[in-house]
Amino acid sequence: MLLPIITYPNKLLKTLSADVAMFDEQLHTFLDNMYETMINNNGIGLAAIQVAMPIRALILCIPDEEGNQDRSNLLEIINPHIVNTRGKATYQEGCLSVPGFYEDIERYESLTLHYHNRHGVQCTLEADNLLSIAIQHEMDHLNGKLFIDHLSYSRRKKFEKELKKVIKEKK
Ligand code: QAP
Ligand code: CO
Protein backbone atom coordinates (compact mmCIF):
# COMPACT_ATOMS: atom_id res chain seq x y z
CA MET A 1 0.00 0.00 0.00
CA LEU A 2 1.35 3.43 -0.95
CA LEU A 3 1.39 6.00 1.84
CA PRO A 4 1.21 9.80 1.35
CA ILE A 5 4.53 11.56 1.99
CA ILE A 6 4.45 14.68 4.15
CA THR A 7 6.39 17.62 2.77
CA TYR A 8 7.96 20.78 4.19
CA PRO A 9 6.71 23.03 5.81
CA ASN A 10 4.28 20.52 7.41
CA LYS A 11 4.86 20.82 11.21
CA LEU A 12 4.58 17.05 11.65
CA LEU A 13 8.14 16.80 10.31
CA LYS A 14 9.29 18.50 13.54
CA THR A 15 7.93 15.66 15.70
CA LEU A 16 10.24 13.84 18.11
CA SER A 17 9.48 10.20 17.26
CA ALA A 18 9.07 7.57 20.00
CA ASP A 19 10.91 4.26 20.42
CA VAL A 20 9.30 1.19 18.86
CA ALA A 21 8.15 -1.23 21.59
CA MET A 22 6.30 -3.94 19.64
CA PHE A 23 7.99 -5.84 16.83
CA ASP A 24 4.74 -7.34 15.59
CA GLU A 25 2.94 -7.95 12.31
CA GLN A 26 1.53 -4.41 12.33
CA LEU A 27 5.11 -3.07 12.32
CA HIS A 28 6.10 -5.46 9.50
CA THR A 29 3.17 -4.36 7.33
CA PHE A 30 4.03 -0.73 7.99
CA LEU A 31 7.70 -1.31 7.02
CA ASP A 32 6.58 -3.06 3.81
CA ASN A 33 4.36 -0.06 3.01
CA MET A 34 7.27 2.31 3.68
CA TYR A 35 9.43 0.36 1.22
CA GLU A 36 6.76 0.43 -1.51
CA THR A 37 6.28 4.17 -0.94
CA MET A 38 10.03 4.94 -1.01
CA ILE A 39 10.65 2.97 -4.25
CA ASN A 40 7.56 4.45 -5.91
CA ASN A 41 8.92 7.94 -5.21
CA ASN A 42 12.51 7.20 -6.33
CA GLY A 43 13.92 7.45 -2.82
CA ILE A 44 16.93 5.75 -1.22
CA GLY A 45 15.86 6.45 2.35
CA LEU A 46 12.67 7.13 4.29
CA ALA A 47 11.87 7.76 7.96
CA ALA A 48 8.49 6.80 9.48
CA ILE A 49 7.56 10.42 10.31
CA GLN A 50 7.69 11.24 6.58
CA VAL A 51 4.56 9.10 6.25
CA ALA A 52 3.04 10.61 9.43
CA MET A 53 4.02 7.76 11.80
CA PRO A 54 5.99 9.15 14.78
CA ILE A 55 8.08 6.05 15.55
CA ARG A 56 11.87 5.59 15.53
CA ALA A 57 12.00 3.51 12.35
CA LEU A 58 13.75 4.22 9.05
CA ILE A 59 14.56 2.30 5.90
CA LEU A 60 17.45 2.60 3.45
CA CYS A 61 18.10 0.98 0.09
CA ILE A 62 21.36 2.26 -1.38
CA PRO A 63 21.86 1.53 -5.11
CA ASP A 64 24.85 -0.67 -6.12
CA GLU A 65 27.73 0.40 -8.44
CA GLU A 66 25.48 -0.08 -11.49
CA GLY A 67 22.82 2.12 -9.92
CA ASN A 68 20.46 -0.79 -9.32
CA GLN A 69 18.34 -0.67 -6.19
CA ASP A 70 17.70 -4.20 -4.97
CA ARG A 71 15.40 -5.21 -2.11
CA SER A 72 18.17 -7.56 -0.88
CA ASN A 73 20.09 -4.37 0.06
CA LEU A 74 17.18 -3.05 2.13
CA LEU A 75 18.05 -2.02 5.68
CA GLU A 76 15.24 -1.65 8.21
CA ILE A 77 16.61 0.28 11.18
CA ILE A 78 14.64 0.62 14.41
CA ASN A 79 15.56 2.55 17.59
CA PRO A 80 19.06 3.39 16.27
CA HIS A 81 21.99 4.78 18.31
CA ILE A 82 25.26 6.02 16.84
CA VAL A 83 28.01 4.66 19.11
CA ASN A 84 31.10 5.88 17.20
CA THR A 85 31.92 8.34 14.42
CA ARG A 86 34.98 8.92 12.21
CA GLY A 87 35.95 11.81 9.90
CA LYS A 88 33.83 14.29 7.99
CA ALA A 89 32.34 14.21 4.50
CA THR A 90 30.19 16.56 2.43
CA TYR A 91 27.45 15.32 0.13
CA GLN A 92 24.73 17.02 -1.90
CA GLU A 93 21.60 15.83 -0.11
CA GLY A 94 17.96 15.80 -1.05
CA CYS A 95 14.84 14.59 0.75
CA LEU A 96 11.47 13.20 -0.32
CA SER A 97 9.90 15.70 2.10
CA VAL A 98 11.73 18.62 0.45
CA PRO A 99 11.26 17.69 -3.23
CA GLY A 100 13.38 19.47 -5.82
CA PHE A 101 15.95 20.91 -3.38
CA TYR A 102 19.54 19.75 -3.02
CA GLU A 103 22.29 21.22 -0.87
CA ASP A 104 25.76 20.25 0.37
CA ILE A 105 25.65 19.05 3.97
CA GLU A 106 28.59 18.01 6.17
CA ARG A 107 28.21 14.69 8.05
CA TYR A 108 30.42 12.04 9.67
CA GLU A 109 32.29 10.07 7.02
CA SER A 110 31.78 6.78 8.82
CA LEU A 111 30.00 5.52 11.91
CA THR A 112 29.10 2.53 14.03
CA LEU A 113 25.39 1.99 14.62
CA HIS A 114 23.44 -0.07 17.12
CA TYR A 115 19.80 -0.75 16.18
CA HIS A 116 17.01 -3.33 16.17
CA ASN A 117 15.77 -5.12 13.05
CA ARG A 118 12.05 -5.79 12.37
CA HIS A 119 12.15 -8.80 14.70
CA GLY A 120 13.59 -6.81 17.59
CA VAL A 121 17.02 -8.42 17.23
CA GLN A 122 19.88 -6.13 18.33
CA CYS A 123 22.25 -5.43 15.38
CA THR A 124 25.53 -3.56 14.82
CA LEU A 125 26.45 -1.90 11.53
CA GLU A 126 29.65 -0.27 10.30
CA ALA A 127 28.69 2.33 7.69
CA ASP A 128 30.71 4.65 5.48
CA ASN A 129 30.25 6.81 2.36
CA LEU A 130 26.64 7.24 1.18
CA LEU A 131 25.25 4.75 3.71
CA SER A 132 26.78 6.67 6.62
CA ILE A 133 25.39 9.96 5.27
CA ALA A 134 21.95 8.47 4.62
CA ILE A 135 21.77 7.03 8.17
CA GLN A 136 22.54 10.46 9.67
CA HIS A 137 19.99 12.14 7.37
CA GLU A 138 17.26 9.65 8.32
CA MET A 139 18.13 9.70 12.05
CA ASP A 140 17.69 13.50 11.99
CA HIS A 141 14.07 12.88 10.92
CA LEU A 142 13.51 10.82 14.11
CA ASN A 143 14.43 13.96 16.07
CA GLY A 144 12.27 16.30 13.99
CA LYS A 145 15.20 17.66 12.00
CA LEU A 146 15.54 18.17 8.22
CA PHE A 147 18.72 18.55 6.13
CA ILE A 148 17.78 22.19 5.47
CA ASP A 149 18.07 22.81 9.24
CA HIS A 150 21.84 22.32 8.79
CA LEU A 151 22.12 25.20 6.29
CA SER A 152 23.85 28.48 7.13
CA TYR A 153 21.58 31.52 7.62
CA SER A 154 22.20 32.78 4.07
CA ARG A 155 21.69 29.36 2.43
CA ARG A 156 18.49 28.86 4.42
CA LYS A 157 17.22 32.26 3.23
CA LYS A 158 18.00 31.23 -0.36
CA PHE A 159 16.05 28.00 0.17
CA GLU A 160 12.98 29.77 1.63
CA LYS A 161 13.02 32.19 -1.33
CA GLU A 162 13.19 29.34 -3.88
CA LEU A 163 10.39 27.51 -2.05
CA LYS A 164 8.08 30.55 -2.21
CA LYS A 165 8.76 30.71 -5.95
CA VAL A 166 7.92 27.01 -6.41
CA ILE A 167 4.67 27.37 -4.39
CA LYS A 168 3.70 30.44 -6.49
CA GLU A 169 4.33 28.53 -9.74
CA LYS A 170 2.15 25.64 -8.58
CA LYS A 171 -0.85 27.93 -7.90
C1 QAP B 1 18.06 10.83 2.05
O2 QAP B 1 16.77 11.02 0.15
C3 QAP B 1 19.46 11.07 1.56
O4 QAP B 1 13.98 16.00 -4.33
C5 QAP B 1 17.20 10.09 1.09
O6 QAP B 1 12.48 15.16 -6.38
C7 QAP B 1 19.74 12.05 0.64
O8 QAP B 1 15.78 9.46 -1.06
C9 QAP B 1 20.46 10.32 2.04
C10 QAP B 1 14.23 12.40 -3.81
C11 QAP B 1 21.04 12.25 0.20
C12 QAP B 1 21.76 10.54 1.62
C13 QAP B 1 22.05 11.49 0.70
C14 QAP B 1 14.39 13.75 -3.64
C15 QAP B 1 13.45 11.97 -4.88
C16 QAP B 1 14.82 11.40 -2.93
C17 QAP B 1 13.82 14.67 -4.48
C18 QAP B 1 16.02 10.63 -0.92
C19 QAP B 1 13.04 14.23 -5.56
C20 QAP B 1 12.86 12.87 -5.74
C21 QAP B 1 15.54 11.68 -1.82
CO1 CO C 1 14.74 13.15 4.34
Q: Is residue 2 part of a domain?
A: no
Residue 158 lies in a domain: yes
DSSP state of 123: E
Q: Which residues pair with 114 in a beta bridge?
A: 81, 124
Ligand 1 neighbourhood includes 96 CB (under 6 angstroms): yes
Ligand 1 center–CA 96 separation, angstroms: 5
- Condensed to tens digits (0 to 9), the pLDDT of residues 120-142 reads 999 999 999 999 999 999 999 99
Q: Is 66 a catalytic residue?
A: no
Query: Is 25 within the bounds of a domain?
Result: yes
Considering the candidates 76, 93, 103, 138, report the single residue annotated as catalytic: 138
In the prediction, which pLDDT does 119 show?
98
- C-alpha angle 108/149/3, rounded to 5°? 95
- Spans in the chain with pLDDT lower than 50: none
In a domain, 152, yes or no: yes
Instruction: Give the chain's domain count.
Output: 1
The bound ligand whose nearest atom lies closest to the alpha carbon of 45 is 1
Query: What pLDDT, on a 0 to 100 scale, did the predictor assign at position 114?
Result: 98
Residue 130 lies in a domain: yes
CB 67 within 8 A of CB 60: no
Q: Is the beta carbon of 103 within 6 A of some atom in ligand 1?
A: no
**How many angstroms separate the CA atoms of 8 and 163, rounded?**
9
The boundaries of the domain holding residue 46 are 11-170
C-beta 118 within 6 A of ligand 1: no
Give the C-alpha separation, 148 to 94, whole Å.
9
DSSP letter at 67 equals S
Q: Residue 10's pLDDT is what?
A: 98
Question: Which ligand is closest in space to the CA of residue 97?
Answer: 2
C-alpha to C-alpha distance for 52 and 90, rounded to whole angstroms: 29
Judge whether 75 lies within some domain.
Answer: yes
pTM: predicted TM-score of the whole model, two decimal places: 0.97
- Whether residue 1 lies inside any domain: the answer is no
Task: Calculate how far, in angstroms, residue 2's C-alpha sits from the geometric centre of ligand 1.
Answer: 17
Q: What is the CATH number of the domain that holds 72?
A: 3.90.45.10
Residue 6 lies in a domain: no
